[in-house]
Each structure stands twice: as C-alpha cells, then as structure tokens.
A and B are shown apart, each in its own frame.
Chain A
C-alpha cells in the first residue's frame, strides 16, 4: 500500500517537474520539483482508491463536463485537457467536451447527456459543488469512474479530485503579508465575488491568519467581480478614503490585483505596499515594474491535463488518491521572503515582461498563447 502511494507520488512528481520548470530562469530558484507536497506534509493517511473494478481495455470514450470557458483561466484549463487528450490519443477513442456556460442547471443536463452517451470515464469541473452533487453521485453509483477537477462536489461520491487548495492560498498569502508588515499594519481586502466559493474560502483562510495578529487591522473589504477595471475603481476609491494608511493590499486573484496596482501608481504612490497575486501575468508584471513587494501563488490550469492522465490510470486499474493536490510554486519578489513563507521562484523570473498582461500562467503548455493554441485530439 505504502509502496503504491510512493510510486504514485514519484510519477506525479515527475509530471509536476515538467510543469514547473517551464518558466525557470534563475539558477537559485527554479521552482518546486518534488513529490506532491500535500501528500508529503499530510498529517493524516491519504485515502487511496482501489480502481480494479474500472479496469478495461482501451481505447476509451471520455466525457468532460466543463463549467465554462468564460475566463482566461478556464480557457487555459481546457487547453491543458485538450493537450493531454492529444498526447494520449492512442488510448482515447473519443473525448467529448461539453460546456455549461456557468449555468449549474445546464451542467447537470450536460452530465446526463454524457452518461446517456455511454462514456467510460467522466471528468467534471463543477460549476458549483452542491449543484452537481446529485447527478455526479448518480453517475458514480452507476459504475462510471469520476474524476473531478478544479471544483468538487459536496459528497465523497467520486473517484478522485484534482485540485490546488484555496485554503493554502489564503493562509500563505495572508501569513506572508503579516510577516512582511512585521505583524503590524492596515490591510484592504479585495476579493472577487460575494457568495462564490473561491472567494469565500480564500477570504475565510486569510481572515483566520489576520485574526491571530492583534496589530493587523483589516480596514475594508470590497468585492471587485474579478474585473481589472472594477479592481482599479474600487482601489481608487479606497485610496481616497484611507490614503497612505493602507499598508497592504490583499487580493484573492491577480485580475483585480493588476487594477489595484494601477490605481496606486496613478494616485502618485511610489513606495507601493505589499500585494498578493495569482494566475495573471499582469499583476506580477506590474509589481516587478513598480518595485512592489509581491506574493504569487497560482491555481494551475495544468490540473486539467493531470485529470486526463489520472483518469487513464483509473481505467488501467491503478490505485489513485481520493484527493490529489497539485504542488504549486510560491513566487515572491526578490528580498521579500519571510520567516514562514519562502519562495520556490522569484517573481522577477516568473513574470513574463515580454507577454501581455492578460496572459494566464501555469497552464503547463510551453509558450502557451490562448489565441493561437490548437491541438488535434480524437473528438
């Protein structure tokens, strides 16, 4: 059993290496290349799923029910899945991809459609955890192996869940900011959207950390709809309201983060306060250009490709962990590491100064360009 876990960790670690070294330039910090951290650091035994019952000969029909491709991250995730389908075309007879356009009700229908088309494996990126629970449970109980990616369902009725943790983002980003400020200062929080799980989880985790430090004060929390423009508008208003009392800007994503940096620069600020970013080139790029201390922790779209690979393992009857958390590089601007939060990479190396601001990082596809990306795969 233990051997299997380690084997798996090794394979996954190798997969992660190819992902994480793509952007490495600095000899000192080339990014994390080891086995999945959550397994190494886990304080409880991992649940390993026996998949012998799903073992069958290929080529397979795989169904992927996507929540949407309404933003660049999700487009990158889809690209990563298509790339994996291309790379494993010898084992895949057909890859059916549906798209729910962010409508949970439509996604339930999509999964129903996929089941009725007799897929061998179901990959689901749920629009919301609760909405997809009933239908995915039905599929799972009917004997179809289920791989969840990015967003899970509420129950445990699935084979494996591929993710990176929102809580890790919240804890790490907040801890870094607290230590960067020496445990004392005023923070404004700019999350995405009220009532959306990514925002809810990341805010909750960050607040757990902030609450431990009596001299850290959250001045204000305002939602930005993950829009760079709204992030800029909100930050501009907060600058008028609080002025230079703002010592740190916590974002749950880089989209509004880039807008927030612009607002500070346009307000004439030169010594920019620490900021947290994720996923988006614009945020880290602006931080580097404006010499702003920054923390970046991606939620890698490459998890899409990993879902396909793990799915093929299931169909080959190999055991897989019930929850698989991808290792993510902590990137920090040079000289801004703190006691608890060390960098795997320098943001100066990680940011792509030559690429547009709207580029999504961490797709795992070398030189990924969303507008030109296209691969052949069995459809």
Chain B
C-alpha cells in the first residue's frame, strides 16, 4: 500500500504533468468514442497524427528554447517567411526546390542565432528580442510578397498526405525529430548543459559551461525547426502565404507548457511536448465532432489548459 502511494507520489511529483496529459488524452479518446462512432476509427486517428505534424515540429524546437529559460515569439513570423521563400524560390521547379529547402533551413538557423546573439550581447530579455525580430521578419515577408506565392513541384503534397507503413509520413518524421532531440538532451553533454543553463544561468557559467554556445544551439535549432515545419505546411497548403505561421507563435508554447516544461527553464522535456501536441490536436478534432461552436470551444480550451497546468506544482516561477 505504502509502496503504491510512494510510486504515486513519485509519479505526480516528477512526472505529474506528463501523467496528467496522458490521462487527459485517454479520457478525451474514451469520451470521443462514446460520443461518435466515427471518432475512434483508424482513419480519424491517422488524421489527427497528420494534422499535428507542423505544430509538433515547431513545439519541439520551442521546447529547447524554453528549457534554457527563454522563449521564442518570432517563430510564427519565421514559419511565414520560410513558407513564402520555399514556394516562391521553388516556383514549381524540382531542382530549385532543394536550393529553396537548404536556403530556408540555413535562414531559420541564422535567425535563431541572431535571436540568441541579441539577447546575449544586448542583454535584452528573449521575449522582447524575439517579439522584435518577429515583427522584422513579418515585415520582410510582406516586402517579399503580399499574396500567396509560387508553387511546389507535382507530388510535393505527398509529404503531407503520404503514408509510411500505414502511418502519415509527417508523423513518422515527427517521431524521428523527437527521438533525435530526446537523445541529444539526455545523452550529449551540450544537451545536458541546456538544462543546466535554464536551471541556473549564473551557476552554469560559473562552472564553466558554455552558456553562449548553449543558447546559440537552442535558438538556432528552434529557428531551423520553424523552417522544417514550414516545409510540411507548404506541402499541406500548396503554397507559402504571408501570414501562414502567425498562429504558431502562441500555439507552439501551449503544448510545451502543458507537457510539463517550465517557462522558468531548467526542467521538462520533449516527451511532454509531444504528448501536449497530441492532446491539443485531439482536443481540436474532438470539438469538431461535438459540433460545438467556436465560442464554446475557446472556453473548453481555456479550461483544459488551466486544469492541465494547475495539477502539478512548480517550485519556482518566472516569466
């Protein structure tokens, strides 16, 4: 009895957020199956996985930044810019497509590095820096195009709708990114330094940990993931559009925090984020099945977020 209790305490204390999220996923699924016979089908499950790809990739990038104790609010504009550049540069040409993909990946990484650099050297809080760079990127996007632009070669939408072993291609790719990030965070020294930096920036620096390098890597990765997400978005949407990423700025943060990563940094992980993404996508899908108007959907979303995050207790807090 006591051992069960202690396991429970251990779980809720150490992994409370994650357990809550998995529990909520389970409850929502059960609820959905009861409410609609079309909800629990294989094709609907595949739908949800397929739909969650861009959000998952962006949120995985955001997770690293948040573990350092920072935040990236430029991510939405980065996705928009990358999406218009991708389809604009490609313009239907399969060869240019590869050039465009490399370009946006490099650009994404570079923007991340600029974000990190500005917050390190100007000593401005990342929230403000990335808000500023976000505005600048949006302006550049509008300079480049004010309308949806370009197109992708035929068959590019297979990236969004294709299947590998019956699973959506995007979902498989998401898992790959997830595993790589998880291994990096746990097994590679630099990955572990990300936690140390977020936990106690001054302490980490005193111990001689490469704080700047850590920040460059985290923000660079986040920017690059925004570019990757834009590839899947363009595959799904057919062309890049100047406001396509706008929603990701805030939606990319919710799964991270719901998944148990603290905004104050130092704790959390990508598994929670991934589950958070699936929870959010599942919730959106389920609300469609309920024929609830958006008005009530917003109320439900707000409540679920509050429930999910107030279950576990944070030891310290910051922005």
Task: Decide whether A and B are members of one complex.
Answer: yes
Binding site for B on A (CB under 8 A): 68-69, 96-99, 101-106, 108-110, 112-113, 116-118, 128-131, 133-134, 138, 154, 194-197, 200, 379
Q: Flag if A104 contacts B54 (CB, 8 Å).
A: no
Please name all residues of chain B whose beta carbon is closer than 8 Å to the beta carbon of A138 when the two chains form the complex: 161
- Tell whether A117 pairs with B38 under 8 Å between CB atoms, given A68-B294, A200-B146: yes
B225 to chain A: closest CB distance in Å? 16
Q: Flag if A104 contacts B142 (CB, 8 Å).
A: no
Q: Flag if B236 contacts A112 (CB, 8 Å).
A: no
B81 to chain A: closest CB distance in Å? 12
A282 to chain B: closest CB distance in Å? 23
Please name all residues of chain B whose beta carbon is closer than 8 Å to the beta carbon of A112 when the two chains form the complex: 47, 50-51
Q: Mark B269-290, 1 if CB is under 8 A from A, else 0.
A: 0000000000000001100110
A106 to B161, CA, bound (A): 15
Identity of the chain B residue whose Cβ is nearest the Cβ of A155 in the assembled complex: B238
Q: Flag if A116 contacts B43 (CB, 8 Å).
A: yes
- What are some 21 contacts across the A-B interface (CB < 8 A)? A96-B291, A98-B288, A103-B247, A104-B237, A105-B233, A105-B236, A106-B284, A109-B47, A110-B288, A113-B44, A113-B288, A128-B148, A129-B148, A131-B148, A131-B238, A134-B236, A134-B237, A195-B142, A195-B241, A200-B147, A379-B291
Please name all residues of chain A whose beta carbon is closer than 8 Å to the beta carbon of B161 when the two chains form the complex: 134, 138
By size class, the interface of chain B is 20 to 34
B41 at the A interface (CB under 8 A): yes
Top 9 nearest A-B pairs (CB, nearest first) are A131-B237, A195-B242, A109-B51, A130-B148, A195-B146, A130-B239, A99-B294, A133-B238, A98-B288
Please name all residues of chain B whose beta carbon is closer than 8 Å to the beta carbon of A96 when the two chains form the complex: 291
B157 at the A interface (CB under 8 A): yes
A195 to B142, CA, bound (A): 7
Please name all residues of chain A whose beta carbon is closer than 8 Å to the beta carbon of B44 when the two chains form the complex: 113, 116
Q: Flag if B284 contacts A109 (CB, 8 Å).
A: yes
- Tell whether A134 pairs with B294 under 8 Å between CB atoms, given A109-B47, A109-B285: no
B244 at the A interface (CB under 8 A): yes
A68 to B161, CA, bound (A): 24
B3 at the A interface (CB under 8 A): no
Within 8 A of A (CB), among B106-143: 142
B193 at the A interface (CB under 8 A): no
B243 at the A interface (CB under 8 A): yes
Q: Mark B38-54, 1 if CB is under 8 A from A, else 0.
A: 10010110010011001
